[in-house]
């Protein structure tokens, strides 16, 4: 039956080309989100401790400017709270809630791509397999004789598409779940920091 020529299969299968494109997208957005979450890592307690010291010294504007420079979601929420610190407690709670939603959307940016890859890549691979099997049986019909040996290699090559789809989907799903957990953790941290910031500001 001979060995399967993977490079030749890749050249002849448009579904494998699509899957390669999907894998490139997945890798690119994975690294982009890894860098984002790495840069946005902030200790909320330490941040509030620094803010509290500046507030006690009457340097609220300096505290706001320092938080504004840090692009971490938690830091941005604190900066937004400091910006509107003179508002009533009810208004400040609403403003902080809206800012948390905004920062959550920023954290979830591009994650839909990873989720889509995890859901659709297996179906793309399955489609390539079905097309490959159809071609294999067509070759069997054209050969007229030879039995299963005629289509065995073709079917084996067709199944490469399914394997390719799974190879793209499984890492994408794992990475997507990992980042969604990160988003959940950061969202909880923003809520905790917001509540503590309200106490520090003494909003009424």
**What is the rounded CA–CA span in Å between residue 161 and residue 182?**
32
User: What mean pLDDT is predicted for residues 3-31?
Assistant: 80
- CA distances to 6, 8, 87, 132, 164 from 129, rounded to whole Å, are 14, 15, 62, 5, 10
Structure token pair of residue 177: 């779940």
Predicted TM-score (pTM) of this structure: 0.84
Task: Give the separation between CA 103 and CA 10, rounded to whole angstroms.
Answer: 41
Kindly report which listed range (73-77, 98-102, 140-144) carries the lowest average pLDDT score.
Answer: 140-144
Rounded Cα distance, 27 and 3, in Å: 30
| pLDDT greater than 50 at residue 204 | no
- Please tell me what DSSP assigns to residue 191: H
Instruction: Indicate if the pLDDT at residue 102 is higher than 60.
Output: yes
Contact 112, 172 (CB under 8 A): no
**What is residue 189's predicted lDDT score, i.e. its pLDDT?**
94
Instruction: Judge whether 77 and 194 are in contact, CB under 8 Å.
Output: yes
- Beta carbons within 8 Å of 186's beta carbon, 6+ residues apart: 40, 73, 74, 103, 104, 107
């Amino acid at each position: 039956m001979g060995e399967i020529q993977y490079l030749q299969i890749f050249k002849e299968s448009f579904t494998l080309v699509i899957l390669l494109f999907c894998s490139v997208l997945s890798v690119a957005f994975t690294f982009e989100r890894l860098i984002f979450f790495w840069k946005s890592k902030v200790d909320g307690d330490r941040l509030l401790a620094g803010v509290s010291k500046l507030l006690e010294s009457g340097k609220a504007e300096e505290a706001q400017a320092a938080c504004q420079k840090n692009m971490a979601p938690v830091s941005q929420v604190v900066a937004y709270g400091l910006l509107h610190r003179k508002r009533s407690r009810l208004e400040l709670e609403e403003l902080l809630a809206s800012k948390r939603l905004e920062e959550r959307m920023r954290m979830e940016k591009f994650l839909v791509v990873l989720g889509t890859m995890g859901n659709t890549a297996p179906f793309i691979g399955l489609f390539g397999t079905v097309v490959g099997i159809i071609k294999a049986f067509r070759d069997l019909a054209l050969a007229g004789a030879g039995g299963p040996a005629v289509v065995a290699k073709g079917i084996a090559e067709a199944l490469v598409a399914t394997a390719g789809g799974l190879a793209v989907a499984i890492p994408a799903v794992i990475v997507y779940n990992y980042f969604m957990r990160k988003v959940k953790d950061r969202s909880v941290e923003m809520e905790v920091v917001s509540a503590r910031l309200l106490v520090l500001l003494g909003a009424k």
